[in-house]
Structures are given as C-alpha cells and as structure tokens.
Structure 1
Amino acid sequence: MKSIKKLTWLLILTVNIASAQNRYELNSGWVCAPIGSVKVNGEKVSATSWSVKGWMPATVPGTVLTTLLDNKKVPDPFYGMNNEKIPDIYRTGRDHYTYWFVKEFTEKAPQGNEQVWLQFRGVNYSCDIFLNGKKVNNARHHGMFLRQNYNITRLLNSSGPNRLAVIVYPIDPVGNPNGGQGGDGTIARNVSHQYVAGWDWIQPMRDRNTGIWDKVYIERTGAVNIKNPHVVTQVPGVRKPEGTQLPVQIVASAELENPTSTKKDGVLQYEIDGQIVKQAVSLEPGAVKEVALPAFQFNNPKLWWPSGYGPQNLYATRFQFLEDGQTVADEEKVTVGVREIQTEWNAITRSKQVSVNGQKIFIKGGNWIISDAMLRFTDQRFDAEVRYHRDMNLNLIRVWGGALIERPEFFNACDRYGMLVMQDFWMSGDCNGRWVDPMKSEDQWTRRNYPNDHSLFLQSVADQVKLVRNHPSLAIWCGGNEITPPEDILVPMRDSILPALDGTRWFVDYSNSDEMSYNALGGNGDGPYGIQNPVTFWEHRTFPFNSEVGSVGVGDYASLKRFMPMENMQVPQYPSNKVDSVWDYHKYIGYNQYIDPYGAAKDVPDFTKKAQLVNYDQYRALAEGFSNRMWEWYTGFIIWKTQNPWTALRGQMYDYYLDPNACLFGLRNGSEPLHVMCNPTDGMVTIVNNSFEEKRNMMLAVRFYELSGKDSFVTQVFTYVEPSSAKRILSVKELMNKLAKDKGVFLSLQLLNEKKQVISDNFYWWPDATGNYSGLQSMAPATLKVKATPMGKGKIEVTLANAANNPVAFFNRVTLLDAKKKDRVLPVFYSDNYFSVVPGGEKKIIVEYDGAITPAISVEGWNVSSQEIPVNN
C-alpha cells in the first residue's frame, strides 16, 4: 500500500538493519605485471596458490603510467621535457602498456540470501576479470565510460582470502601523436577520451591512460539490490532565496534487482527531511525492475541556488528496500538539492538564457578539461579546484568533450559550491571530422562516423547519465565539442535516452550550436583565443552565449620553477617569437607585446611579474565587458580555459600545483555579483547587479591617483541599480585622458553601503598617451605596514596599511609560507590578491588553508619590497 508517513524514532528502532548495505573500496594492496612477463592464463593468475611474488606495487585507481611513475620506473612527465623520455604506445605497441592487476581481499562467505557484488566505476579500455580461478565477465568488457557490476556471491572462497585478477588492454587504435588535436584523430574511434593523443594545450599521455582508472568496490547486500536511484525536484513559479517557500514536488524512482531464485516482496522507500515516501514492490526471481515511488509534495523546502544568487542547501536522502517491509536488504544514499533548471530563447541577444527556480542567471563560466591528465583524482583536489572557481565569482563549469563525464566527487564539490555544470559527451570537431585537417589520417567522411562502435557509445551515455543525474549542479548536457554526434547517436540520445533517464535539463546538440547562441557573425561560434587588447572585450561584439573565449595564464617565477629546469629559464623574445624549447613544449602563447609597455623584461622573474599585470587586466576586462552588455548583447560567457590538468603555460587561473596567478583575482574582481567598473574606451562608470534584488542607497566614490600618490577627487554620488542589470552612471573619459597623458594614472572606484562599508572596490591603472606605462616604470617605493593575526584553525587575517605620505602601494601579492621550509603552502584561498593600497588606506585579506604548519606571510608588490611577517598569536 502506498503511504507517506512522518519518520519517528520508534520507526528507526523497529527496522532491522542487520543486512543493510556494506560497501568498501579496493584502493590499496594491488600489484601488477606487464602481459609479456606473465605466461599463464587468468584462471591461474587469480588462484590464491599462484605466486605473485616480485610483482610491482600498483596504483588503483590509476593508470599504468601512474604506477610506473610511483615506482620510479619513468621520470615525471610533467617536468621539463621528461615526457619525451617515456616510450609512446604508438611506437612500442599495445602490449607494452597491457598489464595484469591483482588484489587479494578478505570477504566473509555470504549467509542465507546475502549477495556480494564487485563493481568497477571505470576501466580504460578493455578488460577480462577473474576471481579465485574463475572468469567473472562472460565477454570482454570494452569502453572507458561504462561501469561494471558483477554478482560474485558464488565465486567467493568459503574461508580465507580471495584473489581478484584483471588484465587491462589499451585502446585500439592508440592514435599517432603527430602534434595535431588528438594526434591523427584515430583516438576517437574508441569510446574514450581524446586529449591523451595530444592537443594544443597538452603533450600526449604515453600510455593513453590505460588502467583501472576509477574506483573499485565490494558491496554486500541482502536479497535485493538497489541500483541507480533517481530524484527529480520540480520547483514551479519564480522563487527567491529568502522567505517561506511554496511547495515543490519530488518524483523519485530506483532500479531493483533480485538475483535470487525466489520471489521477493517488500517496500521501497526514501526519507528526506524527516519524511518517508513508500511503495510496495514484488520482484520475480532474477528480475531487474525500475520502481517509481509516489509523487511527494515537499512543503517549505530550502532551495539550492547557483553561487552568488543564494545558498546551496542540500538534503541527505536515503533509499532503502525493506524485505517483507521489515528487514533492510539494501540502502543507497543520495544528496538532493531542491531546484529546477529552465531555459528560454532571448530574442534580444538571440541566445539561450538559463534560469534556476524561475530566476534568470547570467552565466559566467570556465571551461574545465580534467583535474589531472593522468587521472590522479582526489576529493581534496576536486574541492580546491571547484572552490577556486567559486572564488572567481563564476557560476558554471563546462566539462569539455575531449575528456570525460566528470566523477561524482567533482559534482559533489560543485553541489557544495554552487557551480552549475555543462557536461559534454565525448566528441570533438577536431577529431570527429568538422574540419579538413592535414594532420588527420582519415578523411572527414570517415571521421564524421567515429567512434567505431555506436552501440557502445549509447550504452555508455545511458550509464553515465545514471551515474551523475542526481546532482543539482548538473544543468546542461552537450552532444559534443564543436560538433554533433553522428545522427544515429544524436537522435536516440536526444529523443530517447536523455528524456527517459533524465528529462529535466537542457540538451544542446553541440557546444557552439546556433540553438545555444546564434552565430550571426560567422566563424566557429566561439573565441577569440589568446591575449586580447582589453578594449576588445568592451567594444567588440562576439557570440551572445560564448562557449569559449580567452587563453593566457603564465604563472609567476615560483610557479615556473616547479616544472622548468633553470637552464630553460629564458625570456621569450618578441617580435621574433624565439621561445625556449621547454616553454614551447609546455604550450606557451606569446604575449610580450602586452608585457613590453611595462618595460622590456630583464629576466624571467621580471617577465612573470609583468605577466601578472597583463593577466589581471585581461580577465577583469573580459568579465566586465561581457557583464556591461548583459541581456543586451549577451546571456553568458565561458572562458577557455580556467585550469590545466598538467604543467601548461596557457589558459589557467591557477597552475597544475594549485597556485593561483593574477588571472584568478582579475576575474574574481571583474565577476563580482555587485560590481563597479569603467569602460576604457568611453570612460563610462557602470554598476552591474547580478542579484535578484534592487540595490539602493549606495554611494559611488570616484578618485584618480597620480603616480606620486596625489588624490584627485572626482565625485561621490548616491545611486541605485535594478535587479539583474547594468546601469551606466557617468563618464570620466575627459579627466582620465588629461591626467594620464604624461605618465599614466590610477582610477579608484568604490561602492559603499549605508554603513559606509566598501561593497565593491576596483582599481585601474591607465597608460600614458603613447600606450606605455611609463609612470609605473619609475614609481617611487612604498612601505607597507603588515600585521598577520590568526582567526582560528587554518584562517589568518592580514592587515596592510599604507602611510598617507606614500605613493600608491601598487599590485601586491600576499603569500602563505611554511615558516620552517620557506615554501608556499598549496592550495590556499585568499579573499583578494594582486591588490593596491592607496595613500592613507588599509586593506584586509583573509587567508584560509588546511594543514598543520607554522605559518608565515610574505608580501611583495610592484613598488613594495618583499617582506616576511610571522603570524602573531
């Protein structure tokens, strides 16, 4: 009988949980050996009596290359030119990276109806599996993006250890890494990721990431196994984050499997916020059945919102199957965010517009490749990287199609930090035939039909949709990067698989589709790429929902030293474009022409210091230029790209080691939800409001500072701005040109609230009449008084004060150090950085970190000498 009841302590006490789910990960104690050294079959290898003495410790989850690196069999491919020292699979043949992986584990023999399951979340590319002398999979498994789930109840030893043996074969074909995008393109004949054959931002992964790359689990259940629970939240109307909420509806379902030889009756139920929703179920022997639960009206829920618009409320939800209505046979936990994604066509911009809970959201996004090119994923790294995106005041991450469906742990972080996700499937115009390309080994017609196995692609789509569909952060599905899948993949995916398994999100057929953003200007529908004159972002109209724009990001000298040998620390030459071999190998994009106005770089430390000025200005201008035309020209932008999965020199707001550069803080400033800014072409001071509320009774303060530090006050004026809009206030063009003519000038813009607190702070530096920063090159030094005070575990407040008789203390970086080792602590989260302090001004920076260290703070700036400050208790 269907029922909805209030959960009580009595009910908890009366449920027998003795058989509830027990799952653990097999993530240590693995050993491995190459296929050529193993002369017996899988039945022998998996027998506990057969010796694996002398086998190499293996990293699982991980790739063959990760294991070789961890065992010091190869050099670090991310350092210098080391990747060239590692044999490439295209030249060695596939057997070189075909490996056996063996793991012994203890699992007590099942009792009664208990079942034990072996689960693989990802193997690249194909594998055979053996347990205790028996083959587990009837046919060889293929596909990087297809989970495997095996009932091993009858294969377990009744006592003692069990031995699991897996032979993993690389993709076929492996692709020729000839320097093209995805090499010769044949990598895309597999249902796998394409970047591993090389791209314009990465060198090839020599083993093509062969291995048991994702998690392996053992799960114990009762007679019924819950699989792929699904929760849909329907939020009608236009909502706001605060106040009492009208009811929403929850629709839930789950797959149930009865592997036993007898019929099983029971109850499928889930609990959310103290409420239980139930459905009686009868399962025939050997049946797998999807069960829908009654629709549930959830009163006054706490809603989930994207970052910058409201809180990220989450509910811990538990699905259970109660055999005979009493004994818990299995349990699965799902985290639910109550929200609804909507889209509509904006006729003014001629692009799609995204709404959440009825409120339109101006999309500020970053393109994401993968957390680590060798698939070394950790919860901590996912958390740090996604937090950096939140801290940049972005609200969307696009997972690019040449990589993978991101892992649940990535989506968990996006759920926590309010990052919407646009998830591509595994297609790219470069490999899949959009363009003529002399680097490709096959013609466009052939490449257009990649991969070889369309059925496997569709199977993998269905499986991966089930893996991540419950995450509130997931907002958009995308058929592929710059190309649609072939018709016999696209049509069933769009019209059958996604509607049946999800049906709640926007599906765009490819990343720069006219359906997403009408391409009235011609071209590919994205870009421009590379460094731009900041004015470009304000005055040049690009695609109204731009999926890829921008690409710079050289870090500072400390960042370069982590992966570049000292003999290669050579300043790139301009305009001859002579670049050191290591810089070139790590995909440097030249932008000396934007560095030279600050003075030709004397050495690499000077080059990287000036590069940060360019980085900051570039990404502040990008965010401001798009926001300036919000809802007029644009409904959103997605930066290409915000992070690197290896040690590249382009397209990153922080380096591979999670050390932020000035791109991150320029973007953070320009993307503020409430932001005051100035158009460099017409001098128009504008306020952007990305909230749902009108902002009233704000004071706008405008000041110029000469290079000497003299304050040329302009005005203070009360103002307001409507919700989700940009408001132009006044122009400072004439005065700016006059003051900047000889040496340049600084412009300070501040918004203050009714409590006289600064709620937006923006500081520009303008060049002289020739376009050079001549005044900066001859600035007098400034001395900052710095104090660092602990605010609790892992949190420090840094206060920086500039005396009234000083010039501006320009472009300062605060860095957290380990006081004993003198190394930078990474990752660290700064409330602001690369900031300036005006004469008589003060700046407070909050520094947050994890780890047990003795902290110290270093401060250095353009005209501020480096100093180290102890953290005083």
Structure 2
Amino acid sequence: MSKRLYLFLYCAVGLLFGCSSPKTNLMMSRELNTDWQFAESGSNEWLPATVPGCVHTDLLTNGKIEDPFYRLNERKLQWIDKKDWLYKISFDADAALLKHDRVALDFKGLDTYADIRINGELVDSTDNMFREYQLDVKPFLKEGANELEITFRSPINEGVKKYDAYPYWVPVSGNDLAEIGEVEGGKMVSVYTRKAGYHFGWDWGPRLVTSGIWRPVYLKAWDEAKINDLQIEQHEVTKDKATFSAVVEVDATEAKPATITISNEGQELAKADFQLEPGISLYKLEFEISNPKLWWTNGLGEQPLYTINAQLNVGDQFAEASHRIGIRTLELVRDKDEKGTSFYFKLNGVPVFMKGANYIPNDVFLPRVTHEMYETVVNTAKESNMNMLRVWGGGIYENDEFYDLCDEAGILIWQDFMFACAMFPGNQEFLDNVKAEAEDNVKRLRNHPSLGMWCGNNEILAAWFGWGWKKEEEAKSQANADSIFATYKKIFHEILPDAVAKYDSHRFYWSSSPSSGTGIPADLVNGDEHYWGVWWGKEPFSNYATHIARFMSEYGFQSFPELKTVKQYATPEDYDILSDVMKSHQRSSIGNETIEYYMLQDYKKPKDFESFLYVNHVLQAEGIKFALEGHRRAMPYCMGSLYWQINDCWPVASWSSTDYYQRWKALQYYVKKGFAPVLVSPYRTGDQFKVGVVNDKLEDIQAQLKMKVMDFDGKVIWEENEPVTVPANSSADYFEVNEKDFLKDKDSKNEVFVVELYNGDQQLSSNEFFFSPVKDLNLPKPTVESSIAAVDGGFDITLKSDKLAKNLFLTIGDEDGFFSDNYFDLFPGQEVTVHLKTAMLKETLDKVLALQTLDSTY
C-alpha cells in the first residue's frame, strides 16, 4: 500500500469515526550495524565484522590473532596499526527512501582516518575519532542494493606523514610508546591525530592503536525539516519555580510555517509558531517548572530528573528530540581570601567537598565496554560515597549512557577535553578540527546535570613550566618554543573556552589541570594540584596529609591486581614481579622497584608471590588513606580529593582501585570508608596526636566520641568518652594530646588506638591508628572463626577472632562473588558480618572460602 493511499484511508476512517488526522514522523532512521565484513587492504579475504567494533577485536573474533592481553601477545600485534583496513556492507534503498528530501549516513564514531565510498564513489573523508559525521548520501544512492565501503587508513602511517611534514618537534611525554609500537625512528606521532591518546600507550596501558567503526551507524531520511539539537538552558531557580529556555536547532529544506511544543512527561510547557528558514536555525521557547525538585550529588539528596521533549510540527508531519535534565545550581567558586584563591563547587547554594577519582576508558578496545560495565563503575563510585569522577583527557568523551548513569547516581563529572601530556601542532587544519570536535561534544553533553565543568587539558601547562619542556625547547630554538606555546594558548585560551562560552555558557571552563588560573602554573593556594611526590619522588605517605592544595585532583599509588586476575593474563612461571610478563604488565618506568621500596618501609618482605600481591593491596590502601583523610580534614581550605584512578583498561599493575575485571582492590574498600559522609580520623601531626571529625551532612550531629587503647589480645589499656557536637558540613579536631606523653605508659608495638563515633546506638564511624610501622608490630597469630548463613543473593559470613587479625582478607579462589567489606582489622571480642554476593552453592563456598591476615605473609 502506498503512503498516500494509507493516509487517505486513515483520514477517511478518522472522519467517519470522529478521529483527528494522523501525523507522520519527518524522520526515518535505520541502524546499519549488522552484516558488515572487513579485510586487510590488498587482500580478498573478507571476514565477518562487528559494528560497533574495531579491527583488533574483529581479528580476535575470527581467530586471526591471539588475545592481546595475554602474556606478551601485545608485542606481536604492532603490525596491525601499520595496515589499511576495509569495511563494507550492502544495504537496500527502495523508491520510498529515495523520495525523501534528504538521505544521510549518520556515523556516531569513526576511528580515525576513514574514506567513505558508496557504490565506488568517494563521499567524504574523516580524520577525528571524537566527532560525529552526518553525510548527505542521496546523490550517491541507487534504487536497490548499494555498497558502503570504508577504508581506514593506518593512523601510524598517516601520523608519520604529518610528523615528517611538520617544521619542528612537538613535545610529547614518554607515554607515546613508539618503541613498543615499532614506529620508524621511534617517532611519537600521537599528537598529530585526533584520537584517544591512551591507544598509543600510557604508564598504565598497552599500545594497541585501533581503527574501525567504534560507535553506531544510522541511515536517516527526512522531509522538510529535522531537529538537529535541543538545548535546555536553566535560568532562575526558586522554591516555587525554575525558568528555562528550550533552544531548538532545526535544519529545514525550505521556508515554511511550523509549530514547536515543549513538554515534560506529556504536560505541555510551551508552544509557539515559527516561520522556518532554509538551512540551520535556532528557535527559542521560554518555559517554567513549578515547585522544582532539586538534583543533588550522591549523599546530599535525591536525583530527580525531568524529561523535556521538543516536538516540531510542519503540516501533518512532526520531528522530536528529548533530553533529561536535573534542576540545580552549580558554580565553581574562585574567591580571594587571606591565603590565596578558593577552588570549590557550590551546589544549590551549599559548598560541597568533592570526593572521587579519576576515570579512564574501561577497555583499550572501546566497543567492548558494555552497559553493565558502565553500571558497575558508576555504582562502585556511588557505593563508595563518591560524588565526582574526572573524565581524564587522554581517553574519550564518554558514551551518553555513562553520563546518564552519573545523572541517576548523583556523580558530578569534571570533564577534560581530550588533550593530555603533550603539546600539539598549530596548523590551521588541526585547529579547525579541534574547533569542530569541541562543538560536537559540548553540544552533545551540555544537558546532563552530572556535567560539572569543562577542563582544557591534563598536565600540559605543568609539563611546559614544571617538567622542563619550555627550557628544552628554548635551548633548541626560541622561535619554535614561542610557536609551540602560542599554539597552546590558541587551543586552550581561545578555541576551547570560546566553544564553552558559545554552546554551554552556564558552565565553568578551567584551562589546564593542574593550574592556578589561565596560563598560571599550579601552586598550593590558588587552584588544583596533581601531587606525585609520593610515588615519583619516593616521599613518605604522610606527606599526603601536609602537601595540600585547594583541590587535589590527582595523586595515587600502584598495586598489582589480585591473583585471580593475574591468572587471566599470566602462567605460574610468570609469577615473579621481575618476570618478562609481569614487567610488561607494569608500564610505569619505576613501577616494581617503587612498590617494593615503599613496601619495605612499612612491611616485612612477603614470603611468596601471592603474599606479595596481598601486601601490595594493603600497602596501596593504607598509603592512600593518608590522603583521603588528610584532604577531608583540611576542609574548607581543601575542597576536593580525586585519587588516580578508579578503573583499568586492561589487566595490569596500576594506580587503580578496581582492576580491569572491575574487582575491588583493598583500596576501594578503604575509599568507601574514607569518603563516608561522617568520618572520624585519628592522626599524627608534628609531636601531637589528634582525632578529627568530618561531617559532610547538612545537619549538625550530636554524638559520643569513644576512644580506647587496647592490646592485641583485646585488653583495654586506656579509654575516654566525651560528647561532641559536630556542625553540618564541617571538619574539626575533637581530641589532642602530646604523642610522647600519651604513649609513655603504653606499648606502641603491642597496642592500637581505636576510636568510634556513636549517635545513640548507631555507629557513625570508626577508625584505628597504630603508632609503629606494621613491620615493627608484634602481630599475633589469630584464630579467626567464621559462620556462614544463606541469605537472598548470597551469604552472610560472621567473623570473630581471639586476637587482632590485621587486614583480614576474605577470598573465594577463582569463584565469582563480591564481599561487602574486606581487608579490615578484626579486633578480639568484635563480631563482624560480611555479606558475600554470589550465585555459588554453600557446598562450594565451604570449600573455597579462605582467610588471610598480615601475620601469615612472612
């Protein structure tokens, strides 16, 4: 049945029965994500391809390569990125499709140098992984079968051409692993290509430089007009109402009257008639929402979301677009004070301490990241009491679903533009590409309430002034050095802030992290800081509590994954941190030696490889604990703590708190406690011993501070209780003594300080403090008893010990499951119940459950 005959019959029936005329959608959209094939250029061996996907995963699926993550396989696969690869699909275009005014291919992501042909004719070429491309293809189509073929040119070969053509060296950090990549002359070509920097290697990631169709492809057709974009601009927010503008970007084929309606869940909010103009135009409608429910970050309130829909009506046809929004006010406050300039986020009028982590892509092969993986990492952040993640500038502008999940979880996003640890070329073609990339991504992400701020780059300003790049380049050529930094200013002081001002004017732009302002290197009194004195400088963990800036946006310490993960990329013969495989899965230039250096400062040498992994986890967690608590105690001077990093992109030794398989390390359990809304924190400063209490809640707390010193057998040596009032959103000390005087009648090698904060019978927080390094403690050999009870979703495991069980680690071998707590100190006389979420049977659990404590590792 033809479209016109259908409409005639539908209208006739409507008139007969009193129904209104139907409206048809202006837009037809069809996915082109199945039945693809791929081949190496010059080869006739066409194989099935997955879209979205990439050449590495397609080769792996077809059995042409071995797992790139296993042992040393990464080194054998560097030939892939030197080849060109072809992808093709055949699709039908019927007469009805070709009658539409416009027909386009909508590529959500092409990685990266792509020549697109239809029926042998070149439609267009692309050169930016981060952009979306909508290409008019109607002139290239024919009725019936059509062949779409995409040639992905080698990003390495294209990079070498640009490298050779550029007049001078552009500084790049050592994270471009050109030597591993077997690039001619060791040329670091990553900066010439607008592609995820971490694909070229990083000090936690492999070098696997991908190509392919990494986001979905759609065939779209429409008549008269379509909605390109919908922006919701928030204006005034009061208790009674919130006011907005809906800015609708319309692409029209001709001048025509139209009506735009704005609604929320079917309720009309605004409606207006417009005269469409040919081409792309913006149309604005004002609306308001009564009695708005405010969006809060995790821990401070709920995250109500409103779905705002825009419908464009042209005659009897319509087009739609919608976005979810959260109603909230947010500002980055930069006020002068007696010490410098503040740097904190004020949400709905409330200063909020930002607790969180840096976030990298969840896989080096991006299309393998599933919705469940996104859910897991966001839920990990939420369950760990975080309220912010920093999307780091060497990865990608994340998929929409990531931001959707953060909207729902109350996780604010510090969003870097995709520039990290390198200078960049300044030719006009490159700059125009960056400008288009910024427009694409700012417009795509700006409606998310979770989007907190835009940041121009990661560590480039620090590299220029602090890492010695400026001096090195000036020593070679002052003119070239001046040109390099002029390009820096062009990108990060003009193009990117201009894009934010034009397309997302209500959000703050910060030019570089870390820094103290636009073009001003970081200090400790005016901005954000990346502190790597611990790790790179081998400074003590205690410095985390003293080297504090207004906002600590990076710091960290490494650990290997747990043995269960190591088994998935190594064999028993590799179980030595100095083996070739373990060194290959350790990308920090000082990694293994630094882990061992810090370990031997506080712990005895572990007796075997498995014990080393366990102690390494405890070491990382205990070290970062200094930072988590120290930064929070320093509020309101310091108002943010984002450790490096929450996740991994392959199985590796890294600074992550969850490994590639999203298994929690000891650090993640410590983060959950260290970022709890109420924190009691015993600490040493100079010759004083203090107990601080931090309250992130928006109401005062009346509580009992209970302190005691007990020996490892449970005997109480000293105790003191006192009532405290902890004001809302505050940090202060509630106990202070001279440490030497306090310990003169105590045995620091056999006793522990334990502090608890109670509100009635409810324990709000607990913590402990050992006055001597763990290696000097006389740790007992505890007998830990466990009882198991089946409950919905798994088991409750109740634990008791006759003596101190230091850093009790529960494990279930190679079985799958998640413990609600782990790596904790179990004190004599204490009963702790840990929930194990698992699908295994009790008979299996009885066989595989094992307990480990620090005393058993040497």
* Deviates most, 26-35 or 167-176: 167-176
The code of the aligned residue for 1:534 comes to F
Match of 2:822 among 817, 822, 833: 833
Q: Which residue of 1 aligns with 2:467?
A: none
More helix by share: 2
The code of the aligned residue for 1:214 comes to R
* Deviates most, 520-529 or 683-692: 520-529
Q: Is the 8 A contact 2:810 2:852 kept in 1?
A: no
Q: Which residue of 2 aligns with 1:475?
A: 452
Match of 2:60 among 46, 57, 69: 69
Task: Determine the C-alpha separation between the residues in 2 that align with 1:20 and 1:845.
Answer: 56
1:658 aligns with 2:662: yes
Q: Which residue of 1 aligns with 2:116?
A: 129
Structure 1 pair 559–323 and aligned structure 2 pair: CA distance change class (3 A): same
1:390 aligns with 2:382: yes
1:812 aligns with 2:808: yes
Q: Which residue of 2 aligns with 1:443?
A: none
Mapping for residues 541-556 of structure 1, pairs under 5 Å:
541-556=547-562
Task: Determine the C-alpha separation between the residues in 1 that align with 2:651 and 2:313.
Answer: 51
Q: Is the 8 A contact 1:812 1:859 kept in 2?
A: no
1:843 aligns with 2:832: yes
Q: Which residue of 2 aligns with 1:613?
A: 618
Q: Is the 8 A contact 2:456 2:492 kept in 1?
A: yes
- What TM-score, normalized to structure 2? 0.83
Q: Is the 8 A contact 2:115 2:126 kept in 1?
A: yes
Q: Which residue of 2 aligns with 1:692?
A: 698
The code of the aligned residue for 2:270 comes to V
Shift of 1:518: 7.3
Structure 1 pair 863–363 and aligned structure 2 pair: CA distance change class (3 A): closer
Mapping for residues 235-246 of structure 1, pairs under 5 Å:
236=237, 245-246=239-240
Q: Which residue of 2 aligns with 1:454?
A: 431
Task: Determine the C-alpha separation between the residues in 2 that align with 1:721 and 1:635.
Answer: 18
Structure 2: runs of 5+ lacking an equivalent? 1-18, 164-170, 178-186, 462-486
Mapping for residues 350-365 of structure 1, pairs under 5 Å:
350-365=341-356
Q: Is the 8 A contact 1:368 1:398 kept in 2?
A: yes
Q: Which residue of 2 aligns with 1:802?
A: 800
Task: Determine the C-alpha separation between the residues in 1 that align with 2:759 and 2:751.
Answer: 27
* Deviates most, 697-706 or 657-666: 697-706
Q: Give deviations 1:715-742, integer Å, cap 9, x for gaps.
A: 2322121122112111364587457745
1:290 aligns with 2:275: no
* Deviates most, 211-220 or 402-411: 211-220
Structure 1 pair 148–545 and aligned structure 2 pair: CA distance change class (3 A): same
* Aligned-partner SS, 1:412: helix
Shift of 1:664: 0.6
Match of 1:149 among 103, 119, 134: 134
Q: Which residue of 1 aligns with 2:630?
A: 625
Structure 1 pair 825–246 and aligned structure 2 pair: CA distance change class (3 A): farther
* Aligned-partner SS, 1:293: strand
The code of the aligned residue for 1:197 comes to F
Shift of 1:152: 4.3
Q: Which residue of 2 aligns with 1:57?
A: 48
* Aligned-partner SS, 1:614: helix
* Deviates most, 175-184 or 455-464: 175-184
Structure 1 pair 191–78 and aligned structure 2 pair: CA distance change class (3 A): same
Q: Is the 8 A contact 2:438 2:496 kept in 1?
A: no
Shift of 1:649: 0.5
Mapping for residues 675-686 of structure 1, pairs under 5 Å:
675-681=679-685, 682-686=688-692
Q: Which residue of 2 aligns with 1:638?
A: 642
Structure 1 pair 320–521 and aligned structure 2 pair: CA distance change class (3 A): closer
Q: Which residue of 2 aligns with 1:48?
A: none
Q: Is the 8 A contact 2:691 2:736 kept in 1?
A: yes
* Aligned-partner SS, 1:203: strand
The code of the aligned residue for 1:289 comes to S
Structure 1 pair 748–234 and aligned structure 2 pair: CA distance change class (3 A): farther
Match of 1:110 among 75, 90, 96: 96
* Aligned-partner SS, 1:610: helix
Task: Determine the C-alpha separation between the residues in 1 that align with 2:823 and 2:112.
Answer: 44
Task: Determine the C-alpha separation between the residues in 1 that align with 2:428 and 2:365.
Answer: 22
Structure 1 pair 855–448 and aligned structure 2 pair: CA distance change class (3 A): farther
Shift of 1:153: 5.3
Shift of 1:31: 0.9
Task: Determine the C-alpha separation between the residues in 2 that align with 1:851 and 1:358.
Answer: 48
Task: Determine the C-alpha separation between the residues in 2 that align with 1:705 and 1:106.
Answer: 78
* Deviates most, 146-155 or 652-661: 146-155
Q: Give deviations 1:116-161, integer Å, cap 9, x for gaps.
A: 5421111121222233x26473x422211221113445655545x5
Q: Give deviations 1:721-776, integer Å, cap 9, x for gaps.
A: 1122112111364587457745343333222223x1222232444436xx624322
- What TM-score, normalized to structure 1? 0.82
Shift of 1:341: 1.9
Q: Is the 8 A contact 2:683 2:769 kept in 1?
A: no
* Aligned-partner SS, 1:297: strand
Mapping for residues 325-336 of structure 1, pairs under 5 Å:
327-336=316-325
* Deviates most, 17-26 or 313-322: 17-26
Q: Which residue of 1 aligns with 2:150?
A: 166
Shift of 1:473: 0.9
Task: Determine the C-alpha separation between the residues in 1 that align with 2:172 and 2:255.
Answer: 58
Q: Is the 8 A contact 2:565 2:651 kept in 1?
A: no
* Aligned-partner SS, 2:343: strand
Task: Determine the C-alpha separation between the residues in 2 that align with 1:198 and 1:503.
Answer: 34
Task: Determine the C-alpha separation between the residues in 2 that align with 1:579 and 1:745.
Answer: 41
Q: Is the 8 A contact 1:797 1:844 kept in 2?
A: no
Structure 1: runs of 5+ lacking an equivalent? 1-12, 39-53, 238-244, 433-446, 867-873
Task: Determine the C-alpha separation between the residues in 1 that align with 2:310 and 2:114.
Answer: 32
Q: Give deviations 1:458-484, integer Å, cap 9, x for gaps.
A: 111111111111111111111111236
1:101 aligns with 2:94: no
1:562 aligns with 2:568: yes
Shift of 1:527: 1.5
Q: Give deviations 1:499-529, integer Å, cap 9, x for gaps.
A: 1211111101111121289734699952125
Q: Give deviations 1:199-219, integer Å, cap 9, x for gaps.
A: 2222311xx221111222234
The code of the aligned residue for 1:644 comes to D
Q: Is the 8 A contact 2:257 2:314 kept in 1?
A: yes
Q: Is the 8 A contact 1:63 1:209 kept in 2?
A: yes
* Aligned-partner SS, 2:415: strand
Task: Determine the C-alpha separation between the residues in 1 that align with 2:753 and 2:317.
Answer: 66
The code of the aligned residue for 1:673 comes to P
Q: Which residue of 2 aligns with 1:265?
A: 257
Q: Is the 8 A contact 2:109 2:216 kept in 1?
A: yes
Task: Determine the C-alpha separation between the residues in 1 that align with 2:577 and 2:756.
Answer: 37
Q: Is the 8 A contact 2:112 2:152 kept in 1?
A: yes
1:204 aligns with 2:198: no
Structure 1 pair 554–735 and aligned structure 2 pair: CA distance change class (3 A): farther
* Deviates most, 103-112 or 262-271: 103-112
1:323 aligns with 2:314: yes
* Deviates most, 454-463 or 310-319: 310-319
Structure 1 pair 312–848 and aligned structure 2 pair: CA distance change class (3 A): farther
Number of residue equivalences: 777
Shift of 1:493: 2.6
Task: Determine the C-alpha separation between the residues in 2 that align with 1:235 and 1:178.
Answer: 45
The code of the aligned residue for 1:146 comes to R
* Aligned-partner SS, 1:306: coil
Structure 1 pair 354–864 and aligned structure 2 pair: CA distance change class (3 A): closer
Q: Which residue of 2 aligns with 1:748?
A: 754
* Aligned-partner SS, 2:210: coil
Q: Give deviations 1:619-643, integer Å, cap 9, x for gaps.
A: 22211010111113x1223212222
Shift of 1:317: 2.5
The code of the aligned residue for 2:105 comes to L
Structure 1 pair 509–719 and aligned structure 2 pair: CA distance change class (3 A): same
Task: Determine the C-alpha separation between the residues in 2 that align with 1:451 and 1:186.
Answer: 18
Q: Which residue of 1 aligns with 2:226?
A: 225
Shift of 1:331: 1.8
Tell me how large the CA RMSD over aligned residues is.
Answer: 3.4
Shift of 1:535: 1.9
Shift of 1:852: 12
The code of the aligned residue for 2:624 comes to Y
* Aligned-partner SS, 1:409: helix
